[in-house]
Amino acid sequence: MGNRKKIVLMGATGSIGTSALKVIRHHRDKLELVGIAANTDAARLATIAEEFSVNEVCLFDANAHSQARENALFSAETKLSSGLDGLKRLASLASCDTVFIAVVGTQGLLPSLAAIEAGKNLAIASKEILVLAGKFIMEAAKRQGVSILPVDSEHNALFQCLQSVPHDHVSKVILTASGGSFRDTPVEQLGSVSLEQALQHPNWDMGPKVTIDSATMANKGLEMIEASWLFEMAPEQVDVVIHTQSIVHSLVECIDGSVIAQMSPPDMTFAIQHSLLFPDRAENVSPKLDFRQPIQLDFRPPDLDRYPCLKLARECLREGGIAPGIFNAANEIAVDAFIQDRIKFVEISKIVEKTLEFIENKEPNSIEEVLKYDKEARSVASRLIDSPQQAL
């Protein structure tokens, strides 16, 4: 038990965090949870802390933190912190080996950098971190000699496939996409789809934001940008294909035309376990593929008329600079507005496009600049939603 990997889990109460806990629970002989963080769900976080005997805890939201203290939700031994400083403190714990980032949005950016500077390996499930600041994250990781372990099923699949392929033998990497909730809906009907319909993902059980991003394929655009940074691929070397079964998670095409694929059921525990145990392997907590039963695999190219967010993300990948971060920020604001019934589903991409047009692209020179333009993009997108005649 003394050689267990020690894990800090940020985003412990979300869907990815829940799957990570399932893996850690199953492999207590190999993994130890030493720190946890969540945004507001104090009761759930307290339950996790008790189950796994965790004394290092952060509640990001100040009100949730205060209420947790007033109600004595955590044991007297618990070191309970809050805010960005609390996340950065957790990321730098001396007792930690790997920091698992599963928070939604940009909250995980500065804690990720803090973890790297403290010499911790980083398991990243949050696409936004590399989309916003891939240059700075990858430079810091190389400088500190730490590993960036991809948790997203697609990037984890590429990570596995590329272990046996020299970089100069790779022609391109291909991310698979389910196509989301409206992959078979006639394009002309997308203007009238509801939030409830958007949240009915055909394959995966995910949170609202990611499920809607899957329906627009904004998520796949973000993943293309992330893959470019993770695996040092030029924009033209990163592609996407619709694969409705979500069994093949990514493919690597070699220069000789051979294609290597990674397969597993559409269950995040497979990618999470690989990233946490790497380079070791062990029996998974979830059922594996059963090749005694018929398995059908279908692939088709994405229709960019159906998925304008994917087209915009590809353009941002080619342009580089702050464009990917602008795309991400505007998309977050637009998706939130759709969830609040303030805009239609098809207007998400229009808000993103207009925001990109409004802010001139440039190369950021610091993390502070990255965060500055992220804030500006959110402000622009919000104004466009408040004044729809300007955007829509």
Give 62-109 pLDDT, tens digit per residue: 999 999 999 999 999 999 999 999 999 999 999 999 999 998 778 899
Which residue matches tokens 């998520």? 219
pLDDT at 132: 94
pTM of the model: 0.93
Range from 137-151, 160-174, 205-219, 249-263 carrying the lowest mean pLDDT: 205-219
Residue 133 CB neighbours (<10 A) = 27
Q: Which CATH number fits domain 320-386: 3.40.470.10, 1.10.10.10, 1.10.1740.10, 3.40.190.10?
A: 1.10.1740.10
> What are the start and end residues of each CATH 3.40.50.720 domain in the chain?
5-150
Side chain identity at 86, as an amino acid letter? Answer: G
Burial (Cβ within 10 Å: 0-12, 13-18, ≥19) of residue 323? buried
Whole-number Å distance between alpha carbons of 353 and 216? 13
E-state strands within the chain: 5-10, 31-38, 56-59, 79-82, 98-101, 121-124, 148-150, 170-177, 238-242, 248-254, 259-263
Residue 132 pairs in a beta bridge with none
CA–CA separation, 187 and 176 (whole Å): 21
User: In the chain, where does the domain assigned CATH 1.10.1740.10 lie?
Assistant: 320-386
Give residue-wise pLDDT tens across range 261-284: 999 999 999 999 999 999 999 999
Degrees (nearest 5) of the Cα angle 145, 269, 85?
Answer: 50
Map residue 340 onto helix, strand or coil: coil
Topology (CATH) of 5-150: Rossmann fold (3.40.50)
Q: What is the largest CA-CA distance in the chain?
A: 64
Looking up tokens 């965790």 gives: 54
Residue 295's contacts (CB-CB under 8 Å, 6 or more residues apart) are: 245, 247, 289
Count Cβ atoms below 10 Å from residue 128 Cβ, excluding itself.
26
pLDDT recorded at residue 388? 63
The whole-angstrom separation of Cα 208 and Cα 196 is 10
Q: Residue 392: is its pLDDT beyond 90?
A: no
Distance, CA of 211 to CA of 181 (rounded, Å)? 8
Q: What is the pLDDT of residue 207?
A: 77
Q: What is the C-alpha to C-alpha distance for residues 213 and 335, in angstroms, rounded to an integer?
A: 8
Give the CA-trace dihedral at 377, 353, 134, 240, to 10 degrees: 160
Instruction: Say how many C-beta atoms besides its own lie within 10 A of residue 234's C-beta.
Output: 10
* Model confidence pLDDT, tens digit, residues 283-320: 999 999 999 999 999 999 999 999 999 999 999 999 99
